[in-house]
Structure 1
C-alpha cells in the first residue's frame, strides 16, 4: 500500500507516569529502558520519559494539579502557573517540545483507567497520519477502540501532554484499579505500543499494508455528573446496567442512575450515545459519572 510520503518521523518519546498512580505505563517504560530493542526501529530514535515521578512516589494521581491538563500553549508561557505539576509541564515542554516547534516528532502517552474500556487509542488531532494509524491499529488489534477526543481543537488549545509533540496519541487501557498492576492490561498496553512503533516504521518506509477503507471511532461530546443535591452531596450512583458497559449504546429513556431512595434517573437525550470512563475513580473529585460520545467513521484513505 503506497500511502506515506518521505520519512518525517525521526524522534519518538514513550511517556509513562503522567498520572502517578497509573502503574502500567510506568512499568512498561521501565521495561523498555531495560530492553531498548523493544522500542527501537531502524528509521527513528525512541526514548522514554517518566513524566511525574514525585506523584508516583507519593502514590497519587498528582500532587497539586493534574499534569495532563497543563499543556495549553498559553499556560506553558504563563509564569504565574508555578505549582509542582505546572512547573513540571514547563520542564517536559522544554525537553520534548517546545510545543509548536517540537524536537519530538511523535509522543505516545501511556495511561490506565479504572473503567472497563479495554485497549483504547485516543487521537487528539485530525490528519492523514492519524487516519492511517487508526486503520493500522484496527487491522492489527481489532479489539482496540479508536477514540477521537476533541480532535476539532487546535493543538495549542489542547491541555494534554501528548500534544507537545508534532504528533501525539494516548494509549488508554483498563479496567485497572489505581496503584495496581494487572497482567492482561499491561500486555494490552505493550501490544498497542508495539503496533504504534511498527506503524511509524512502515509509515517512514512507505511499506504500510493494505488498510481498511474506514474504521469505526468514537468522538467525545460531553461529560455528565452524578446526581447531587443543592449542597453538592451525591444522591445516587451509576445504574448497574450501565456499569462496565463502556462504548455500549445508551438509548433515550434508558436508566442512567439509581438514587439511594431506589428511584432512577433516565437519559433524556434524543440521540443514541456511547459512554466512556464510566465511574472512573479519578473523576470522583469532580463528581463526573461518565463521558458521552457519538459514533463516527474515520476515512483511512
Structure 2
C-alpha cells in the first residue's frame, strides 16, 4: 500500500485546473535528470539504485516525475518505463521537447515543427504511452524558429491527442505572456531557488528565473516548477540558509526545498538526485515548518 508522507506541506496542486482534464498531484515531485551519467550523458553509474529511486518515489507518494528524451539521451525515459510500467493511475509523467544533444554533449535547439513532432513520437515510444499528460516546450534562446510557430505545432499535437497539456520551460515574462495569448499554458518550468531567483547565464545560454514569472503564474493559476534549484542556488546562498538549516537540524538543500514550498502554493518543486539517501532527505523537506520569523530572516 502506498504511504504518502503526512505533512501540511505535502499538499496537492492542480495542473490545468480550468480544463476538462485537470491533473492533481502531490506538491513535491521528482526530476530525473541526475539519473544519467556524467554531464547528463549516458547510462547511470549505479543503474539498480536509479531504478530503486524511481520505485521508492512512487511508493512514498510522489506522483509527478519530470523527464526529457534528451537526458542521456533517452536514458531517463527508458529507466522510468523499466521501473514503473505499467504506470500507477495517479502518476503524471512530464517531459520536455525543444532541445537535443550533439555527440560532443552540447545542448542545441531542436524546435522546428518537424523536430517537435519527432521528439513527441520518441517520448511516446520510450515512455510506452499513447498520450503524454504534460509536455514542456523548452525555449533555447532566440533561434530561427519563432515562439508562436513552435507553440502552434505543440497545440496541433494536443488537438491530435498526442499531448494532454502544454507547458513552457525557460521562459521570460514576455515569452510567457506571448504563450498565454496563443493558447492554454498548463505549467511553467524555470530555474528557481532561494539564492537563484532571476536570470543566470550558463554555457548553453540564459536561464530566466522563477521570480520573473511567479506572480503571472499565480494570477493565472499556473503551477511553477523550479529546476536546478539545488545545483546553482546553494553555493551562493550565504550564511542565512545555513543558520536556518542548523536551527531545524536540516541540510541546506532541505531548507531550500522548504522555502520553495512556503514561497507560494503554486510552486511544485522537483528536486533531483542520483542517491537514494539524498532522495529521502529531499522528500523529508516537506515536513519542515518554517516560521514567519524564519521566512522574514531568509528574506
State whether TM-score is above 0.5.
Answer: no
User: Which structure has the greater CA radius of gyration?
Assistant: 1
Q: Which has the higher contact order (CA 8 A, sep 6+)?
A: 1
Higher helix share: 2
TM-score normalised to structure 1 length: 0.28
